[in-house]
């Protein structure tokens, strides 16, 4: 099962040209399920719906309740921002969690759960977008605690371990990532542990998903860093389903001269009952 997570940079930059580049990358990857962040919807069009139609996938979408805070940044009203899931299999359940944040940094960040009707074992799939200020580690710790509880409430009834994707806006050794993983410190939910899929990557492979080689990444935000993740619940399910077999970046170069996003995507191949 091929899983992708990708922050699509909403309607910043040359978004119409970027839209084509995003599709090109996903067409080449041929994913089974994709977690997307910073997805736009405007004037009856939805980027996730369009991508799903072009790729022949099912889709689910959740809009931020505070899109107006984003609209002020580009001077464009009527454009929503949200999280989305694209899936080879039907989405049979979905639920949204608004992540906690103090008023001064609350711009409506979400976690979206979609249960996917995969053969043999439904997949409890999640995609999330945590708060971004560099100083907001305490906010993100509260958000991953809420996320862990949200996952625990929706992971049952299947042998497939939960798959949690998203832009965590934090580096791998941060307190918030350690807390969410639950095995370098006490887990939020007793017994609930997650592996970072990138731990299975080639150590020599480039890992930064916010990479200053990308012309859309402002170097003043700091050095290149890995802030986007695919997490898989541990241990694996029956017969090893959910085991990470490979992981790499994608969308990490221009397509026909256009960078698809200010983030690179993360791609992981997991064992599934069908071997796909």
Listed residue (130, 56, 69, 70) closest to 98, CA to CA: 130
Tokens of 145: 């605690």
Which residues, listed in sequence order, are joined to residue 206 by a DSSP beta bridge?
A: none
Task: Note the pLDDT tens digit of each residue in 219-262.
Answer: 888 999 999 999 999 999 999 999 999 999 999 999 999 999 99
Listed residue (212, 132, 219) closest to 171, CA to CA: 132
Task: Note the pLDDT tens digit of each residue in 27-45.
Answer: 999 999 999 999 999 999 9
Strand residue runs (E) in 117-235: 123-129, 163-167, 193-196, 228-234
Contact status, residue 176 vs residue 170, Cβ threshold 8 Å: yes
Q: What are the domain boundaries of the chain? A: 2-270
Give SS3 for 49.
helix
Q: CA 182, CA 266: separation in Å to the nearest integer?
A: 21
| Helices 15-29 and 47-55, packing angle to 10 deg | 40
- The DSSP output letter for 198 is G
Kindly indicate the confidence band of residue 195, based on its pLDDT and cuts at 50, 70 and 90: very high
Average of per-residue pLDDT across 151-155: 98
Q: Please report the pLDDT score of residue 274 as a whole number.
A: 64
Is the pTM higher than 0.95?
yes
Report the chain's mean pLDDT, rounded to a whole number: 96
CATH architecture of the domain with range 2-270: 4-Layer Sandwich (3.60)
Kindly indicate the confidence band of residue 273, based on its pLDDT and cuts at 50, 70 and 90: confident
> Does the pLDDT value for residue 275 go beyond 70?
no
Gyration radius of the chain's alpha carbons: 17
Peptide bond into 69 cis (omega under 30): no
Contact status, residue 84 vs residue 49, Cβ threshold 8 Å: no
Task: Note the pLDDT tens digit of each residue in 67-82.
Answer: 998 998 888 899 999 9
b (16+ CB within 10 A) / e for 86-105: bbbbebeebebbebebeeee
């Amino acid at each position: 099962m091929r899983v992708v997570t990708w922050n699509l940079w909403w309607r910043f930059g040359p978004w119409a040209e970027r839209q084509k580049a995003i599709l090109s990358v996903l067409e080449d990857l041929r994913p089974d399920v994709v977690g997307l962040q910073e997805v736009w919807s405007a004037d009856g069009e939805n980027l996730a719906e369009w991508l799903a139609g072009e790729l022949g996938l099912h889709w689910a979408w959740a809009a931020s309740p505070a899109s107006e805070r984003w609209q002020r940044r580009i001077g464009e009203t009527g454009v929503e921002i949200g999280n989305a899931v694209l899936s080879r299999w039907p989405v049979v359940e979905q639920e949204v969690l608004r992540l906690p944040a103090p008023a001064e940094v609350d711009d409506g960040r979400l976690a979206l759960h979609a249960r996917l009707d995969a053969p043999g074992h439904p997949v409890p799939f999640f995609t999330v977008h945590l708060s971004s200020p560099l100083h907001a580690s305490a906010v993100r710790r509260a958000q991953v605690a809420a996320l862990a509880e949200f996952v625990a409430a929706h992971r049952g009834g299947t042998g497939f371990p939960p798959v949690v994707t998203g832009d965590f806006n934090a580096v791998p050794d941060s307190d918030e990532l350690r807390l969410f993983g639950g095995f370098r410190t006490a887990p939020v939910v007793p017994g609930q542990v997650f592996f970072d899929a990138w731990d299975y990557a080639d150590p020599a492979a480039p890992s930064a998903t916010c990479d200053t080689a990308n012309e859309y990444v402002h170097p003043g935000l700091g050095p290149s860093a890995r802030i986007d993740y695919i997490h898989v619940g541990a241990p694996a399910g029956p017969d090893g389903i959910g085991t990470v077999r490979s992981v790499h970046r994608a969308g990490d170069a221009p397509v026909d001269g256009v960078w698809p996003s200010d983030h690179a995507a993360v791609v992981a191949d997991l064992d599934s009952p069908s071997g796909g």
